[in-house]
A and B are shown apart, each in its own frame.
Chain A
Amino acid sequence: MTQQQTEMVTVTINGQQVQAENGRLLIDVAEEMGIFVPRFCYHPGMKSVAVCRMCLVKVEGMPKLVPSCSTPVADGMVVETDTPEPAGAQEDMLEFLLINHPLDCPICDRGGECPLQDQTYAHGPGSSRFVEPKRTYEKALDISQLVVLDRERCVLCWRCVRFSDEVAGDRFIQLVDRGSGTQILTFSDEPFDSYFSGNTIQICPVGALTASTYRFVSRPWDLKAAPSVCSYCSVGCPTTNESRGDKLVRVQALPNENVNDFWICDKGRFGFHYVDAKDRLSTPLVRDGDDFRSATWGEAVAAAAEKLGGGKVGVIAGGHLTTEDAFAIQRLARKTIKTPHLDARIQDDGAAYERTLAYSGVVGSTATINDLDGARSIVWVGPDPKEVLPVLYLRLRKAVLDGGAKLIVVSPRRLSLDAFATHVIRCEPGGEANALSALTTTAPVKDDLAAPLVACWSPANPGRETGADLDSLLKVAVEKDARWLVCAPHAGSQGMLDMGVHPALESGYRPIDEPGMDTRAMLEAAAAGELDALIVVGADPISDFPNRNLAQAAMEKVGFSLVIELFPTETARLADVVLPSTAAPEIEGTLTNLERRLQKLEPLTKSPGTAREPWRAMADLARAMDDDWKWTSFADVWAAITKEVPTHQDLDVAALAQEVPPSALQYESGTEEQPGPRGPVVAGPGGQYPKGHRSGAPFKTASWPLSWELRQFEAKQRPGHIPDAPEAPEEKVGAGADAAAPMSGEGFVVYAGRQIYDEGAMVSRSSVLHALSKGAFVELNDEDAKELDVTDGDEVTLTAGNNEMTATVVIADISKGAVFVPYDQKGLRANELLGAGGRVKVAKA
């Protein structure tokens, strides 16, 4: 958004004069003044439809009352929202809505946080003249594993339908039987199969859509809440975690216009049951022959410290750890153990994030997610964002469909982005670099590469990353004066890079003269018996590293291994010492997202047993090795970070703290303090909607230079210097990497990628989501399928080396000669196939 040429007009609402941007919606302007106009259908994240008629107000000079959600302000407008005429209309509307609403609040999950309930108290008639029987429907339809529908409660506000259409783009839920029998419904036996379906529950203004995981679980006043950040992918959506007693029962989106607008994906919303998993580690374990025995924390730390003192030690960290953990891990490795061998790239083995350093001075993104909104063109190279970075997919979709950006997608297979891309460039796996080099010279694509341009990249093909595609993309970006989003995959991945958990980088993106071993080299050394000890923190290389056999051999052959984990993963089972770790809802910490934005997690629930944050484990290990860091709190860690990490030295972590959100995150319900037209009411002004671009407001084109200086948040939350414009590097760090060598040999080239729901340690323990994983499938080009004499739904055998597995064929738009396999699905472990050279033979089963 821009501050350019915004014409201000003077409006009078309820006798108060206010200056407002011309064309903004009356309902928003009133709300910012503290005047809450009741509403059901209006939502700032979507376009206005004005169907519920609840927000009627009186505008002087207009013959009838007007809906404030679709009336733009104009100069000299005089508005009344609480005089008898509009208040009477609001009261009448509520009486109409309540004709068919069952008023089953005592058994409704929404009771206590329900906009209909609250607004009925505040603006309703108090009694009904309606004596006839109410509309009834068959109760509680499970329209998916996650969402339950009670149609009789619905007030037909269209929010869920509009969300599915405008925001998510998967129109599975609709209003059918329109007329007096209008109802919300999905199609016959087709479930509400959206990755974003949970958002409709959160925005439903009544209890018509409820969460299968939260039905009859709690009343809002019994919940305790804490602001947090989703710890799955690197978008880093702010969330509200809510607990009853000490049990985490609900996760909702915390709106933030910089990151997630109002939304989170279903993985973030429903994928929290892992914290209560039965096999969650709660006590340290020390190897005792073929088995483990429980140990005290001190005993286990001492046993580990003894083995880490000398010899060759490697450290592998996972992607779901906090910035503090990352800092502690590199400190233990580099300062205490004095080993240069540490890395946090597992699935994204070898991903060349550091290539951006030479251009911008930072490792990672120079653009923000919000820059997508002002962009005129966007280039995407990488995996399917809908699967791996779901909310970024929503932001890209919005940038294209609302913002008018032209999207250019370079990929070996069809991505969900293709549906609204201007140009789709299909290439061979590994051929992305060449395809990108041709972008700026080939018509018609080159004509659509207009500034402002955002170039997006994320590691796509586990085990085959060479950095060539990123190099190529960065060249395009520099030529076109663009900024880039370089997206490491997981919530903690960027923090790992920032803190220097990288073989070639120290914290603060300082290149190291003599780099240590990366993950692959460490595993190879360990498998060869050349590594004395391996520390694995929050990672499961056996499941995740793109060579399963190598990771397995490494864990078996290494002299000593310490694993810090939440669960007894395959890797942890082979360890010598295991320390229990903490989950995101249990800790105070920070995560750095893909735009390098630091966000704060506040603790809510307790960790089981003696589980501690990995940074505490690191500090304990250091102390046991006679290097006392004297850390006892989050603040202590940050005191050390600001001292030792140059990019973070001016950062005030206290400024990241967020207010505790209301236990029931219902922005439209308002607070109790605000007096209404008829004395004190329950529903007053809403909470703080994030201000800024809303789809409902008239579209404006942002200008590029202003969009760089987007928000005051930036300086506070994004450490490191970001140059005004990217510069061509004098000398590239680690450049000259080989373009992907053409893979020769028999069989198909394996192109692997993650799916939203997989066998990951956290998702697979969140049972509602685990049931949604797609299972073993393989995508084939239709020509290849014909040659193999197979079609959609057939079973085929995939053979690579000694590994053989079966999968169901999906005919897809994928480069000929390549197959796509999901990375980590039940019955199909792509990392077994990838270990055997990246080619696979396919035969009809």
Chain B
Amino acid sequence: MSVLTDEMRSVAEQIVAKYPNRRSAALPLLFLVQSVEGHVTDSGMRDVADILGLTPAEVLATGSFYTMLKKKPQGEYLISVCRNISCTHLGAHKVFDAAREKLGIEPGGTTPDGRFSLEAAECLATCDGAPSMQINYEDFYKVTPSEVVEIIDSLAAGKDVKSVAGETVRPAKDIAFETATAGLDLPHETADTRERLVGGESPPSDMAPGHRPVVPGIDAPPAEGGGS
């Protein structure tokens, strides 16, 4: 099943045209498929391989290195709380616990409604703003436990939330689309553009745990949580 619609594929071709070699477009195209499904699925990687003339294994080898390319379903808003030394000294663990309680999920998890994911981040390089946090890679400095709850409530209610730089926090798929299409002459309203190009609902994930290849007749079903 193809992840990219015909219109999306024409966007992909515009991206490819920016590079001297087709395969150089692997990363933006991976963001493009992430903008459709919220994370990079096997079908998404197959689409990228198909467009670039690579094997899916090569796309996996490239994509699996980058943490911003998500290998499992990811919430609309990813909350990353720094857990390194400066932030921890200044109470990052309390911020983290507040978020965890508010959302009812463990680090690495996603809320059942698919709106929030939570992760403990390594140094975000903003020690002066400790305890530091990012939501969809927008910075928040000197965050208190009550603030993080407030921010989550605002986002859940669909209100605008602004980062320290005054940027509005936008949904993950929009950011992925913007990353993929940077430098292309596409209409500004990225969310609308993306919605229009994606066309319809995202297909369900077909990710197998640990990318386990299944050989019919030989294989037992993969063990839960096995693999890498």
Contact mask for chain B residues 51-64; partner A; CB cutoff 8 A; 1 contact, 0 none: 00011111111001
User: Is A177's CB under 8 angstroms from B65's CB?
Assistant: yes
User: Is A138's CB under 8 angstroms from B56's CB?
Assistant: no
- Interface 9-residue window, one of B75-83, B89-97, B142-150, B210-218: B210-218
CB distance from B67 to the nearest CB of A (A): 9
User: Is A187's CB under 8 angstroms from B45's CB?
Assistant: yes
Residue in A144, A177, A187 whose beta carbon sits within 8 Å of that of B42 in the complex = A187
User: Is B215's CB under 8 angstroms from A187's CB?
Assistant: no
User: Is A186's CB under 8 angstroms from B213's CB?
Assistant: yes
User: Is A141's CB under 8 angstroms from B212's CB?
Assistant: yes
Distance of A187 Cα from B58 Cα, bound (Å): 8
Residue of B nearest to A176 (CB): B64
Residue in B54, B218, B226 whose beta carbon sits within 8 Å of that of A142 in the complex = B218
Residue B189 at the A interface, CB < 8 A? no
User: Is B55's CB under 8 angstroms from A170's CB?
Assistant: yes
- Interface 9-residue window, one of A188-196, A227-235, A803-811: A188-196
Contact mask for chain B residues 184-228; partner A; CB cutoff 8 A; 1 contact, 0 none: 000000000000000000000001101111110011001100111
On A, residues with C-beta under 8 Å from B are 137-138, 141-145, 170-179, 181, 183, 185-191
A138-B213 contact given A178-B64, A188-B42, CB 8 Å threshold: no
User: Is A172's CB under 8 angstroms from B57's CB?
Assistant: yes
Distance of A619 Cα from B20 Cα, bound (Å): 67
Distance of A320 Cα from B46 Cα, bound (Å): 41
| Residues of chain B lying within 8 A (CB to CB) of residue A144 | 215
Distance of A183 Cα from B212 Cα, bound (Å): 12
Give the residue among B56, B57, B59, B226 with the most A Cβ atoms within 10 A: B57
Residue of A nearest to B45 (CB): A187
| Residues of chain A lying within 8 A (CB to CB) of residue B215 | 142-145, 191
User: Is B55's CB under 8 angstroms from A187's CB?
Assistant: yes
- Chosen A-B contacts, 14 in total, with CB atoms closer than 8 Å, are A137-B210, A142-B215, A142-B218, A143-B215, A174-B57, A176-B60, A176-B61, A177-B64, A181-B228, A188-B212, A188-B213, A189-B42, A190-B55, A190-B56
| Residues of chain B lying within 8 A (CB to CB) of residue A142 | 213, 215, 218-219
| Residues of chain A lying within 8 A (CB to CB) of residue B42 | 187-189
User: Is A187's CB under 8 angstroms from B218's CB?
Assistant: no
Distance of A189 Cα from B222 Cα, bound (Å): 12
Distance of A138 Cα from B213 Cα, bound (Å): 12
A178-B208 contact given A186-B57, A190-B213, CB 8 Å threshold: no
Distance of A493 Cα from B228 Cα, bound (Å): 50
CB distance from A165 to the nearest CB of B (A): 9
Residue of B nearest to A161 (CB): B61
Give chain B interface residues in 24-70, CB to chain A under 8 Å.
42, 45, 54-61, 64-65
User: Is A176's CB under 8 angstroms from B211's CB?
Assistant: yes
* Chain B interface bracket (under 10, 10 to 19, 20 to 34, 35 or more): 20 to 34
| Residues of chain B lying within 8 A (CB to CB) of residue A177 | 64-65, 228
CB distance from A799 to the nearest CB of B (A): 33
CB distance from A430 to the nearest CB of B (A): 32
User: Is B61's CB under 8 angstroms from A138's CB?
Assistant: no
Residue of B nearest to A771 (CB): B217
Interface class of chain A by DSSP: loop
A138-B55 contact given A177-B65, A188-B42, CB 8 Å threshold: no
Distance of A170 Cα from B56 Cα, bound (Å): 11
Knowing that A171-B55, A171-B58, A185-B211 touch, tell me 16 more A-B residue pairs with CB under 8 angstroms.
A137-B210, A142-B213, A143-B215, A175-B61, A176-B60, A177-B64, A177-B228, A178-B65, A185-B60, A187-B42, A187-B59, A188-B208, A188-B211, A189-B208, A190-B56, A190-B213
CB distance from B217 to the nearest CB of A (A): 9
Distance of A189 Cα from B227 Cα, bound (Å): 14
CB distance from A11 to the nearest CB of B (A): 38
Distance of A120 Cα from B55 Cα, bound (Å): 36
| Residues of chain B lying within 8 A (CB to CB) of residue A145 | 215, 218
Distance of A172 Cα from B218 Cα, bound (Å): 20
CB distance from A163 to the nearest CB of B (A): 14
Distance of A314 Cα from B107 Cα, bound (Å): 80
| Residues of chain A lying within 8 A (CB to CB) of residue B207 | 188
| Residues of chain A lying within 8 A (CB to CB) of residue B213 | 141-143, 186-191
CB distance from A759 to the nearest CB of B (A): 20
Distance of A188 Cα from B64 Cα, bound (Å): 13
Give the residue among A142, A175, A187 with the most B Cβ atoms within 10 A: A187
CB distance from B63 to the nearest CB of A (A): 9
CB distance from B118 to the nearest CB of A (A): 21
User: Is B223's CB under 8 angstroms from A171's CB?
Assistant: no
Residue in A137, A143, A174, A188 whose beta carbon sits within 8 Å of that of B228 in the complex = A137
A138-B212 contact given A176-B64, A189-B42, CB 8 Å threshold: yes
User: Is A187's CB under 8 angstroms from B226's CB?
Assistant: no
User: Is A138's CB under 8 angstroms from B227's CB?
Assistant: yes
Distance of A172 Cα from B61 Cα, bound (Å): 10
Distance of A176 Cα from B213 Cα, bound (Å): 14
| Residues of chain A lying within 8 A (CB to CB) of residue B65 | 177-179
Residue of A nearest to B49 (CB): A187
| Residues of chain B lying within 8 A (CB to CB) of residue A190 | 55-57, 213
User: Is A183's CB under 8 angstroms from B55's CB?
Assistant: no
CB distance from A358 to the nearest CB of B (A): 45
Give the residue among B45, B54, B64, B214 with the most A Cβ atoms within 10 A: B64
Distance of A550 Cα from B98 Cα, bound (Å): 84
| Residues of chain A lying within 8 A (CB to CB) of residue B227 | 137-138
Distance of A403 Cα from B157 Cα, bound (Å): 65
| Residues of chain B lying within 8 A (CB to CB) of residue A185 | 57, 60, 211
CB distance from A793 to the nearest CB of B (A): 14
User: Is A189's CB under 8 angstroms from B214's CB?
Assistant: yes
| Residues of chain A lying within 8 A (CB to CB) of residue B56 | 187-188, 190
Distance of A177 Cα from B67 Cα, bound (Å): 10
Distance of A190 Cα from B218 Cα, bound (Å): 15
| Residues of chain B lying within 8 A (CB to CB) of residue A138 | 210, 212, 222-223, 226-227
CB distance from A140 to the nearest CB of B (A): 10
Distance of A137 Cα from B212 Cα, bound (Å): 11
| Residues of chain B lying within 8 A (CB to CB) of residue A141 | 212-213
User: Is B58's CB under 8 angstroms from A174's CB?
Assistant: yes
Distance of A190 Cα from B214 Cα, bound (Å): 8
CB distance from B60 to the nearest CB of A (A): 5
Residue of B nearest to A212 (CB): B218
User: Is A172's CB under 8 angstroms from B55's CB?
Assistant: yes
Distance of A186 Cα from B222 Cα, bound (Å): 15
Distance of A189 Cα from B207 Cα, bound (Å): 10
User: Is A187's CB under 8 angstroms from B60's CB?
Assistant: yes
Distance of A118 Cα from B42 Cα, bound (Å): 40
Residue of A nearest to B53 (CB): A419
| Residues of chain A lying within 8 A (CB to CB) of residue B211 | 176, 185, 187-188
Interchain residue pairs A-B with the least CB separation, the first 9: A174-B61, A138-B226, A187-B56, A187-B57, A142-B215, A176-B64, A178-B65, A174-B57, A188-B42
| Residues of chain A lying within 8 A (CB to CB) of residue B219 | 142
Residue of A nearest to B222 (CB): A138
Residue of B nearest to A185 (CB): B211
CB distance from B190 to the nearest CB of A (A): 30
Distance of A175 Cα from B211 Cα, bound (Å): 13
